[in-house]
Chains A and B, each alone.
Chain A
Amino acid sequence: MATLRHSFVFIVLLSIVSAPAAAQSTRVEAIAEEQAEKARQLGAEGPSQAEQVIRRVLLSPLLAGGDGPYPWFGSVYSGTGMAIGAGYLKRLQNAAMINVQTGISLNNSTMLRGVAVAPALWRGKLQVDGAGEWMDARGVSFYGLGQQSSKDTRQRYDYTPLELAGNLTLRPMRFVSVTGSYSFINIQTHRDLEFFAPEEMPGIDQELTYHATRAAVAVDWRPSPSYSTRGGYYRASIERHHESDGAPFSFNTQQYEVVQLVPLVREQFVFAARALMTLTTTDSGNEVPVMLAPFLGSGTTLRGFANRRFSDRNRVLFTGEYRWRPSRYLDMALFLDAGQVAPDRRDFRVSDFETAWGIGARFHGPNFNAFRIEAARGREGLRLIFAGSQAF
């Protein structure tokens, strides 16, 4: 009987202990119980670990886009491949800034460049800046002068220029800029093998020192020079390269460029066209050194041909692109490039133009190009282009 009594007491106690789950007699009480339970285990409201990591990454000067160090991706020199490096940016009052970059490319080319922009003058209409650049570009290609050069006759050389420049830019009205520049340029080149004789490769293996002056006028009504879907860009420039040590490599350059963007269907499609002409003339008995001569063949000129594939005193290039926009961050393009280099501007003939066509994808932001990958085909084969800049 005692066992029964003890068991009965146990069962009753068990019932009482277990009862709270159903103790609420109203909805409010049931919810209140849940809230009381949470009150016993409150935590602090704050960022998750993932958010803390993202915050740290995004707030670092490398990515925040503010002053300080930042990663740099680009190209040391045309044809030296992708490069990485670092930069340092310091913004000052009234649009002044200092920006320094250094980088190294896949083929071991290196560069150091900097620009200092003075505070804007005359309500931002006048800007003065100074720039300096040193680079050591390895394995720059030269295939011989002229359109008939062979891709099998490639000469590689190292190109090491030092340039110190001062620029003055006047923007008298919206869209219009007039620029005057002076540069001191020292150029050294080096090659291990002499594939071409020195007279076939003007300026090679010589140290050249230039006083270069330049004047340019441009009208740019694209919303952003780095990425746009409408507007136009028209530029004309003249440049004088005076070899100061008496070497016979003084020359003048004229360059004309027209870029026109025609949007259709509210910018779903963009027809883009570019014409570029570069003309040089030399002082009597002088030559244009190959390092500074106009060329075709690169990610921006006559895609589908090797870098600097055609080089001569003059060049002309026409490009047409059909661009479509699958995303606000991705443009696709079918393109056709056609161009020619010639020793004399009178030698330009449409029938002699080299052509290349291809397709490309461009990843971009609202006003900048982030990355471009293109496949281009010319008569010498298929080439892939990876670039951080826009084609034009």
Chain B
Amino acid sequence: MTFHRQILITLTLVAASALSLGAQAPRFYPDDPIWREPMTQDVKSAARYEPDLAFQTLENLFSTPGDPVRGQRAKNINTVDEVPDGPYFVNRAGRMPLTPALVARAANTSDGPAPGKWTVVSAKSDGVTPGFTIRDAANELWFVKFDPPGWRAMATGSEIVAAKLFWSAGYHTAEYHIGQLVPGNLVIGKDTRITPPGETARAMHQGDISWLLSRADRDPDGSYRVILSKATPGRPVGRIRFDGTRADDPNDIVPHEHRRELRGYFVFAAWLNHVDAKGINSLSSLITENGRSFIRHYLLDFGSALGSAAVGPREGWEGYEALVEQPGEIGKRVLTFGFKVPVWRTQDYFESPAIGRLPRDHAKWDPETWWPHITNAAFRHMRPDDTFWAASKLLAITDDMIRAAVAEGKFGDARSTEFLAKAIIDRRMRILQTFLPKVNPIVDPALDARGQLTFRNAASDAAVADRAPGYRALWYTFDNTSDRATLVATTEETQSPMLMPEMPTTDYIKVDLVAVGGPEAWAKPVSAYFRRNSGNWILVGFERQP
């Protein structure tokens, strides 16, 4: 081999190594963890697409849209296992100082429609309950919905409560108010049209108003209790889809079934018995701010939540079974001549016109067996670390906050109000009991400059699990470029804090933490990654095994 050839081979190997190293992204970037989902592209041409409800129903009943590979970790989380603020979700519970007053206010920025006449610009004539779209004196657009006859406050109050609590959890919701509609205050817009059932579209007249109101609960003074939701900012471009990405949104790069906040939506929906948690009860809006457009997704229409089924009280099966029951379950019931009785047929219920119908006792409620009417790809891809994430948000929503949200429902019946608040509190507790201990519940790891490692056990702190007898830490040096960890030492303590052992000089430390002697799931390590920064250790990574 000539000298020149040797040099050439050497250069090629060096270049190949450089390419190899250069092609591999580091595990942690300097700006990790990010807390805001980048939306770097201007959404120039998003067209409105209204998915077909029947198709969505059939699709999710009889097929499994989305990624066929289950068990994948959520892909939109930051490096510390959290969901950054983004188009679907903003970190509130557990990240901002929520107060009962803040929960009661939630997304509201006003006191409701401006005083004056309400101009009807359209009406919902199909379906069972009526609805109007009105413009107030300040030209703001509001959607008006009613309670079904005989169930004053049930649908409107439940919707308010659910909206406040979904907002507290972190989802984008509309502005909601309870109001009073006086028929004489309605003015029909000059171009307002209506399509009565079985008829073609025509100009709306006063008789239509009377007909629509005849299907709503009427107060003795002739007025109607209503819920008013303010039109969300921007231009509607469709609904949340739970699989794939929007083809026309360049910022939308994570398939929705792999978005943690959409997976975790299951837990919040189960909490509030929001059985109608489907795409059509949401709104995607194209919003322009500072000359740049992006799409934000709102949850809407919570009329079928808690004890309300919007058109009447919640049916017993709702929350316990999907729209179509599981074939195996049907088969068992056929073969047992009906003596395999579903729990919802035998349990005791609390029922009142103000809040509808809810199981009287939630002490044995199992959130894992909760069913929405129609499930979706995100729910199917949900893993225990996703449900833990959602449950940890609920940890930060206190009983007082729940009571504040329930008070906003203005149910007008103290006994029902008290029961509803207790039911929500109890269901929250069942979620904590179910989902927090199901994975290794270590949270908030921190390593100080003196080498003292602190952490918390979310399950035992919430008193939903016994304290672990001890904790083991496996200490590694970590190479951020090659993504390689090298075990240096193992230490054990009965509780936090733990002391860092003698470590080689390194920029990154990885610590695997397990609970010793606790439940089996707690033996799966959580991994915390710390980066040296001016003598301090900064948490840059956190992973929880499902």
B residues 32-80 in Cβ contact with A at 8 Å: 32, 34, 37-41, 45-47, 49, 51-52, 54-55, 58-59, 78-79
Instruction: Indicate if the CB atoms of A45 and B47 lie closer than 8 Å.
Output: yes
Q: How large is the interface on A (under 10, 10 to 19, 20 to 34, 35 or more residues)?
A: 35 or more
B400 contacts partner chain A, Cβ-Cβ < 8 Å: no
Chain A residues whose CB sits within 8 angstroms of the CB of B252 once the complex forms: 38
Chain B residues whose CB sits within 8 angstroms of the CB of A18 once the complex forms: 19, 22-23
Q: A21, A93, A266: which contacts B346 (Cβ < 8 A)?
A: A266
B489 contacts partner chain A, Cβ-Cβ < 8 Å: no
Instruction: Indicate if the CB atoms of A45 and B54 lie closer than 8 Å.
Output: no
Instruction: Indicate if the CB atoms of B23 and A22 lie closer than 8 Å.
Output: yes
Q: A34, A38, A54: which contacts B54 (Cβ < 8 A)?
A: A54
Cα A326 to Cα B34 with chains together (Å) = 50
A197 contacts partner chain B, Cβ-Cβ < 8 Å: no
Closest to B4 in A: A4
Chain A residues whose CB sits within 8 angstroms of the CB of B237 once the complex forms: 45
B residues 239-283 in Cβ contact with A at 8 Å: 245-253
Closest to B50 in A: A47
Cα A51 to Cα B49 with chains together (Å) = 12
Instruction: Indicate if the CB atoms of A327 and B29 lie closer than 8 Å.
Output: no
Closest to A332 in B: B334
Instruction: Indicate if the CB atoms of B345 and A35 lie closer than 8 Å.
Output: no
Stretch touching chain B among A23-31, A100-108, A245-253, A303-311? A23-31
Instruction: Indicate if the CB atoms of A7 and B32 lie closer than 8 Å.
Output: no
Cα A46 to Cα B244 with chains together (Å) = 12
CB distance from A94 to the nearest CB of B (A): 11
Chain A residues whose CB sits within 8 angstroms of the CB of B49 once the complex forms: 45-47
B109 contacts partner chain A, Cβ-Cβ < 8 Å: no
Chain A residues whose CB sits within 8 angstroms of the CB of B58 once the complex forms: 54
CB distance from B338 to the nearest CB of A (A): 3
- How many residues of B are in contact with the other chain, CB < 8 A? 64
Instruction: Indicate if the CB atoms of B55 and A50 lie closer than 8 Å.
Output: yes
A125 contacts partner chain B, Cβ-Cβ < 8 Å: no
CB distance from B304 to the nearest CB of A (A): 16
B128 contacts partner chain A, Cβ-Cβ < 8 Å: no
Cα A332 to Cα B334 with chains together (Å) = 7
B24 contacts partner chain A, Cβ-Cβ < 8 Å: yes
Instruction: Indicate if the CB atoms of A38 and B253 lie closer than 8 Å.
Output: yes
Cα A310 to Cα B333 with chains together (Å) = 36
A205 contacts partner chain B, Cβ-Cβ < 8 Å: no
Supposing A25-B30, A266-B316 touch, asked if A55 and B52 sit within 8 A by C-beta, the answer is yes
CB distance from A233 to the nearest CB of B (A): 23
Supposing A4-B7, A26-B30, A266-B346 touch, asked if A328 and B317 sit within 8 A by C-beta, the answer is yes
Closest to B37 in A: A31
Chain B residues whose CB sits within 8 angstroms of the CB of A15 once the complex forms: 15, 18-19, 22
CB distance from A196 to the nearest CB of B (A): 44
Q: A45, A58, A265: which contacts B247 (Cβ < 8 A)?
A: A45
Chain A residues whose CB sits within 8 angstroms of the CB of B192 once the complex forms: none
Instruction: Indicate if the CB atoms of B8 and A7 lie closer than 8 Å.
Output: yes
Closest to B331 in A: A326
A3 contacts partner chain B, Cβ-Cβ < 8 Å: yes
Ordered by A's residue number, 16 sampled pairs between the chains whose C-beta atoms are within 8 Å are A7-B8, A15-B18, A26-B30, A28-B38, A38-B245, A38-B252, A44-B247, A44-B248, A45-B237, A51-B52, A265-B341, A269-B338, A324-B338, A325-B338, A327-B333, A328-B325
List the 10 closest pairs (A to B, CB-CB), nearest first: A324-B338, A326-B333, A43-B247, A39-B250, A91-B198, A32-B40, A27-B29, A11-B15, A22-B22, A266-B345
